[in-house]
Structure 1
Amino acid sequence: MQAQTVGGVTIRAPLPPEYRSILTPEALQFVAHLSRCYAPRVGELLERRKQVQARYDAGAKPDFLPETRHVRESDWKVGPLPVDLLDRRVEITGPTDRKMVINALNRCRASPKQSLAAAPAVLPYCGGQDVPLNDKVAVMLVRPRGWHLWEKHVAVDGSPVPGALWDFGLYFFHNARELLARGSGPYFYLPKMQSHLECRLWNEVFVEAQRWLGIPSGTIKATCLIETLPAAFEMHEFLYELRDHSAGLNCGRWDYMFSFIKTLRNDPTRIFPDRGLVGMDQPFLRAYTQLVIQTCHRRGVHAIGGMSALIPVKGDPRANEAAFDKVRADKLREVTDGHDGTWVAHPGLIPVAKQVFDAHMREPNQIRSKPRHDVRASQEELLKVPEGPRTLAALRNNIGVSIAYLEAWLGGNGCVPLHNLMEDAATAEISRSSVWQWLRYGVKLDDGQPLTVDRVCLAIQQELDALRQQAGNARFATGHYLEAATLFKLMVTSTELQDFLTLTAYDFLVATEFGPTWGAPQQGGSAARSRL
């Protein structure tokens, strides 16, 4: 594939006509400017992550920073919020499938995981149909990629562009002025940050982006996902660094559980039990979520709750109602604790969550009414390991979920419904890291036998056989199951816990996409298999 240069930016990917309206020379010039200014800083921050993790691996533990104590103890508030971000009681999150985005915009606040082009009054989607948007649509918050991800198909001055800057830059350039003209604004979710210094970089990006387009500083509003263990100790600092652009914090509960395992991976006393037993009633999660509420309300901004992974159960009314009851209980806990809104993973759960919040939150938010001065979350409470058994059934489930998710991800889908749960990268990461952790420390399962590499490999084969039966031979042959199983096996038997499974999977895709049929779907996965 010949690289193409557009507006001084090298693009190593096909450019169909519909892309060219987005990848204009002006837009690419803007992204290139951001990349030249801030990509070196991204590299420095990622290197800092390695250094901090090395300290944790050597026995140090995350803790509140003494050098920023003045930020936590002094009185200050974030900047004022725009009207359309004052009431955030239900938000739906998901990948940027066109049909899902349209349905989300027509039903509630939407949080797509990647950047989108500005939506006209009618958006076509697969099947050739047109679905009109309502006259009044939901507020959209766009989630660019985390700092750890690079867009390897685009280079500026010979170096890859940070995925975060690519996503943010294109969306902001094409949509900021239009959103302001419609009485809204450019709003974002910022994922996977591990330090307030990473928030500081985002703030500098926002200031420069607004300057470049001639938009008043403070127009951008961003909600930080508290989904890493180190971030739990820097919540005030996160808000402070983004205070002119802050829209609050969100409890990214599933990523947070994964980060707990990853951050404390060298501590044999921090081994997780079965994934299904780690509910929001666990002390370390109670401390974390209530600290988010107290921190946000003290600073005059929203604390958004987490996402229940449950989804509607088709064809089984009893199971469906049981799932809805669990979602109601989860949302009741959040609203009575003081959260100002919550997440759902499926449009069918919007009325369920909204009903609970409407009944217990009669005002737009609870920032003033529930300051939660009573919360005391110590280092010990935030680091308390959840208790419970480790079972063979959970091992099999962890393996099956990880392979099925990776198979879907390699095929271009960022989430997949499994066993009446919506599995995404975060839940798959819990599964993957749990298997790695159990194997590393040779934990005894409920059959009394320690986990070994041979037992893991046998379970992988058993789950692969089960997936073949579920998918059918034709679907299995044309899918990415063998590649997914191979990648999973490499990651869980590695001596080191890989940072993110999607990093390894992305490298695999980049390594296998070039060839005579570059960019075309892999038939039967044969081309990918030949490279393994």
Structure 2
Amino acid sequence: MAGDAARTLSPLVLAGPRLAGQEDLLGPAALEFLVELHRTFEARRQERLAARRARQARFDAGELPDFREDTRAIREGDWTVAPIPAALTDRRVEITGPVEPKMVINALNSGASCYMADFEDSTSPTWENLLVGQRALRKATAGTLDWMAPDGSKHYVLDPTSTTTLIVRPRGWHLDEKNVLVDGERLSASLFDLGLYAFLNATVLQARDRGPYFYLPKLECMEEAALWEDVLAWIEARLRLPAGCMKVTVLIETLPAAFEMHEILHALRSRIVGLNCGRWDYIFSYLKVFRRHRDRVLPERGQVGMTQPFLKAYSELLVQTCHRRGAHAMGGMAAQIPIAGDPIANEEAIARVRADKQREVDAGHDGTWVAHPALIKVAREIFDAGMPGPNQHATRREDVQVTRDALIRPSIGTITRKGFDNNVEVCVRYLAAWLDGNGCVPIHWLMEDAATAEIGRAQLWQWLHNKHLHLDDGTPVDFSLFDRALLALPSKLADRMKLPGGSKINEAIALLDELTHADELVEFLTLPAYERL
């Protein structure tokens, strides 16, 4: 436990540091609600996680993902999802980011169609960050959120006329909340994030016909979607909300889920409004699924764009599937941020964003994501020109014929020294910031989060554990190359104390070194890192 910091409300233990005002969020009724959630659903969550491990073992042994024969009737059946509420009909530009107060204010004031408040990949889940985020969302729901810069230079206030719709992403099924124990077990991070937010805000949001609305991350199969369906139905009944009022969008960000898009929509058909191309996590999942398959090693991250055949097939299948079922097909993230002081480089970056968004609207997507407010106008112009109506559900993409082999086709490309070294640097810098409590970090004019860092980390492991790979200049990809790149980092980051998480650089180097040398690819970077928070 946490000694004097542990506080018990039998059978629940709060093991995190006591924070000022936390009782306003975690009062006796809220804690009782969380206890009931854990006792009702924890066993099923563990069953699903065990099923994930068993399937990955089969992939490691050579099995390939495929469409399920036992669910063919669902894929071939004639059905649609429930009607989409007015607040979610037009989602042409969504902004995402962590749940800290300044970000919440700026995102809701940004003019985006929706803001995804992210407890998952862009928030480092310190106990303080989680509770500060829950408080910020509660105040935002009440319309009272403001934030003062620490030096008093600027006061941020929520615009009462904002029409941006709030959507919350809890952490995935694989994560625990170590600061909340029920009957001696860690509470699911998913149930903590979504459950507490719903307990605090659902009644108010429902009265305004605003859900609450959620993005559900990291699902791998229809059974995991069915578990979410039962959780959400239970919460609605427990809080006396109308059945089906809690609406969800599911991120298709794992390779196994791409083979079960119809099934996932069907499992959540009374409340799902769309699927999203979670491209960065999807690339990471491809790496993880095929970690032992030498014939499916991906080139460096910069060469794995959405025009790669396996990614193009995935995005077009998502559009076709969603529109057949009456759901939104949301596009992926533009991670670029403005490049200050270099107008030529900045315009080149913006041109890449425009091209990516043009590809999405042409493919039939109903909206897209950006990471920075400056990109909202760029993305909106593209979608306004290509999508005059609120969505493109009439674009059925009957021309799309995606096979199993198309979804897993190997990519063509190379590994350059710059690409190898960049993976090492980004992993270390992001991990250092994450360990220091910052889950969303600008590096080389890209907004990096856990998903993008996971690509670099998984690529390093796969490249180094599949022997006889070479850089494009003929240099062997081996642990000597990796060790030299790690050793060079401290001098390369000479001003590291000015970087986010600069004081954690050495710890991050040690952790990346440990994870990369390990015989097995650790499932998620954030699992061992979380124990160090």
Q: CA-to-partner distance for each residue in 1:326-372, whole Å, 9 max, x for gaps?
A: 1011000000100000000001101000110011101000012x011
TM-score (norm 2): 0.93
Structure 2 counterpart of 1:64, one-letter code:
F
After TM superposition, give the deviation of residue 7 of structure 1 in Å. 7.0
Which residue of the partner structure matches residue 428 of structure 1?
Answer: 453
Q: Is the 8 A contact 2:253 2:277 kept in 1?
A: yes
The answer on 1:29 being equivalent to 2:53 is no
Find out whether 1:483 has 2:483 as its counterpart: no
Amino acid at match of 2:33: F
Contact kept, 8 Å, 1:7 with 1:25, in 2: the verdict is no
Q: For residue 326 of structure 2, what is the aligned residue in structure 1?
A: 300
Q: Which residue of 1 is the match for residue 342 of structure 2?
A: 316
CA distance in 2, matches of 1:232, 1:477: 35
Shift of 1:466: 0.9
Name the CA distance, whole Å, in 2 between partners of 1:187 and 1:256. Answer: 23
TM-fit CA distance, 1:502: 0.8
Query: What is the one-letter code of the residue matched to 1:60?
Result: E
Q: C-alpha distance in 1, partners of 2:10/2:146?
A: 29
- Identity, % of aligned positions: 48
The CA deviation string for residues 87-124 of structure 1, in whole angstroms up to 9 with x for no partner, is 00000111112111101111221101126342232323
Alignment deviations for residues 369-412 of structure 1 (CA, whole Å, 9 cap, x no partner)? x0111111101100011111111111100000000000110011
Distance 1:133 1:5, change over 3 A: farther
The structure 1 residue matched to 2:361, chosen from 303, 326, 335, is 335
Q: Give the match for residue 505 of structure 1.
A: 529
User: Number of aligned pairs?
Assistant: 506
Q: RMSD value over aligned CA atoms? A: 1.4
Q: How does 1:298-447 map to 2 (within 5 A)?
A: 298-368=324-394, 370-442=395-467, 443-447=469-473
1:463 aligns with 2:489: yes
Residues 273-296 of structure 1 deviation map (CA, whole Å, 9 limit, x = unaligned): 111111111000000000000000
Find 2:196's aligned residue among 156, 162, 170: 170
Distance 1:438 1:477 in 2: 27
Q: Which of 48, 51, 54 is equivalent to 1:48?
A: 51
Paired residue for 1:15, among 1, 15, 18? 18
Mapped pair 1:72 → 2:97: no
Secondary structure of residue in 2 paired with 1:413: coil
CA-CA distance at 1:317 after TM superposition = 1.4
One of 270, 282, 288 as aligned partner of 1:262:
288
Cα–Cα, structure 1 residues 261 and 82, in superposed 2: closer, same or farther, change >3 Å? same
* Aligned counterparts of 1:479 and 1:103: Cα–Cα separation in 2: 28
Secondary structure at the aligned position of 2:109 is classed as helix
CA contact (8 A) 2:429 2:501 kept: no
Partner AA of 1:183 in structure 2: D
Q: In structure 2, the residue corresponding to 1:10 is in which secondary structure? A: strand
Query: 1:145, 1:164 within 8 Å by CA — same for their partners in 2?
Result: yes
Q: Does 2:137 match 1:112?
A: no
Question: Which range is displaced more, 445-454 or 225-234?
Answer: 445-454
Segments of 5+ residues of structure 1 without an aligned counterpart are: 510-532
Structure 2 residues not aligned, in runs of 5+:
120-132
Q: CA deviation at 1:134?
A: 3.0
Between the aligned partners of 1:41 and 1:252, the Cα distance in structure 2 is: 25
Mark the CA change 1:237 to 1:500 in structure 2 (over 3 Å): closer, same or farther. Answer: same
Q: Is 1:400–1:464's contact at 8 Å kept on the other side of the alignment?
A: no
For residue 311 of structure 1, what is the amino acid of its counterpart? Answer: I
Are 1:38 and 2:41 counterparts?
Answer: yes
TM-score, scaled relative to structure 1: 0.93
Among 56, 59, 62, the residue aligned to 1:59: 62
Q: Deviations over 1:307-331 (max 9, x none)?
A: 0121111111111111111101100
CA distance in 1, matches of 2:86, 2:187: 34
Q: Select 1:183's aligned residue among 172, 196, 209.
A: 209
Aligned runs of 1:108-257 on 2, under 5 Å? 108=112, 109-114=114-119, 116=134, 117-118=137-138, 119=140, 120-125=142-147, 126-127=149-150, 129-257=155-283
